[in-house]
C-alpha cells in the first residue's frame, strides 16, 4: 500500500501473492472500472476473479442430509456420486420457453436423466440444457460439476434442491433481501393506446 501511495513501481510477483491473500482474508476490496457496453473492462474483471478469489475446489460445500437435517454432508465434484443441482429463477416475467438456471455443485447431468425435487418429491427430466452467453443460447448434451446452465420446461422455486436420488439432501436456501422499491404496474385497460 505504501509503494502504491508513493506512486512507486510495485513488482508483479510482490503484488500477485499478497493481493490475493489480502482479498481472501477480506482485508482489501479490489475495485475495477468498466462498462457492459461493448464489454469494456469485462475481461480484466474476469481475470481478477480467477486470480484473487479462491477456487471452488478450495472450499467445502455442505448440504443437509434429508434423513437428519441437523447433520451436514460434504458435496464433492465427483461424477460417481449422486447429482445435486440448485436452480434459481429470475424475477422477470417468464414464458414457457424461458429457462431456469441451475448451478451444479456435484456430479454430472446428462440430458433427459430423471432428477427429483427434494422439496416436492416430483421427478423431472431436463429435456433441453443450454449454456447462456448474453443473449445467445448454446444447446449442450450434458453439464459437469461447477457448470452454470439453463434448463427448459422446469417449474421450480429459487432455492429448491434437485438430486438424482429421492430424499438425498438439501442445500441452504438462498437469502433474498427485501426490495428497496416495490411496485406493480398494470394497464388501465386491455385495448392499448389510442391515438
Burial class (CB in 10 A: 0-12, 13-18, 19+), 109: buried
Average pLDDT, the chain: 75
Average pLDDT for residues 78-87, to the nearest whole number?
76
The full 3-state SS of the chain, as one line of letters, equals: CHHHHCCCCCCHHHHHHHHHHHHHCCCCCCCCCCECHHHECHHHHHHHHHHHCCCHHHCCEEEEECCCCCCEEEECCCCCCCCEEEEECCCCCCCCCCCEEEEEEECEEECCCEEEECCCCCEEECCCEEEEECCEEEEECEEECCCEEEECCCCCCCCCCEECCCCCEECCCCCCCCCCCCCCCCCCCCCCCCC
CB 169 within 8 A of CB 76: no
CATH code, residues 60-170: 2.40.30.10
Question: What pLDDT was estimated at residue 134?
Answer: 67
pLDDT higher than 70, residue 142: yes
Question: For the segment 175-187, what is each residue's pLDDT rounded down to a tens digit?
Answer: 777 888 888 888 7
C-alpha cell at 104: 451444479
Question: What pLDDT was estimated at residue 94?
Answer: 37
Q: Where are the domains of the chain?
A: 2-54, 60-170
**Which residue would you say has higher pLDDT here, 72 or 191?**
72
pLDDT higher than 60, residue 191: yes
Average pLDDT for residues 150-172, to the nearest whole number?
78
Task: Report the predicted TM-score, pTM, of the whole model to 2 decimal places.
Answer: 0.58
pLDDT higher than 70, residue 105: no
Amino acid at each position: 500500500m505504501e509503494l502504491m501511495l508513493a506512486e512507486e513501481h510495485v513488482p508483479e510477483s510482490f503484488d500477485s501473492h499478497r493481493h490475493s491473500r489480502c482479498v481472501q482474508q477480506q482485508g482489501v476490496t479490489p475495485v475495477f472500472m468498466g462498462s457492459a457496453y461493448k464489454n469494456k473492462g469485462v475481461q480484466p474483471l474476469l481475470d481478477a476473479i480467477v486470480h484473487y478469489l479462491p477456487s471452488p475446489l478450495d472450499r467445502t460445500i455442505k448440504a443437509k442430509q434429508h434423513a437428519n437435517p441437523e447433520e451436514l454432508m460434504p458435496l464433492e465434484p465427483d461424477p460417481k456420486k449422486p447429482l445435486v443441482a440448485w436452480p434459481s429463477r429470475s424475477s422477470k416475467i417468464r414464458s414457457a420457453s424461458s429457462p431456469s438456471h441451475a448451478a451444479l455443485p456435484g456430479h454430472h447431468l446428462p440430458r433427459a436423466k430423471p432428477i427429483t425435487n427434494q422439496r416436492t418429491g416430483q421427478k423431472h427430466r431436463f429435456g433441453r440444457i443450454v449454456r447462456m452467453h448474453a443473449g445467445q443460447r448454446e444447446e449442450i448434451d450434458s453439464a459437469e460439476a461447477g457448470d452454470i446452465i439453463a434448463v427448459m420446461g422446469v417449474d421450480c422455486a429459487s432455492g429448491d434442491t434437485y438430486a438424482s436420488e429421492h430424499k438425498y439432501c438439501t442445500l441452504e436456501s438462498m437469502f433474498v433481501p427485501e426490495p428497496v422499491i416495490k411496485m406493480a404496474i398494470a394497464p388501465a385497460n386491455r385495448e392499448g393506446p389510442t391515438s
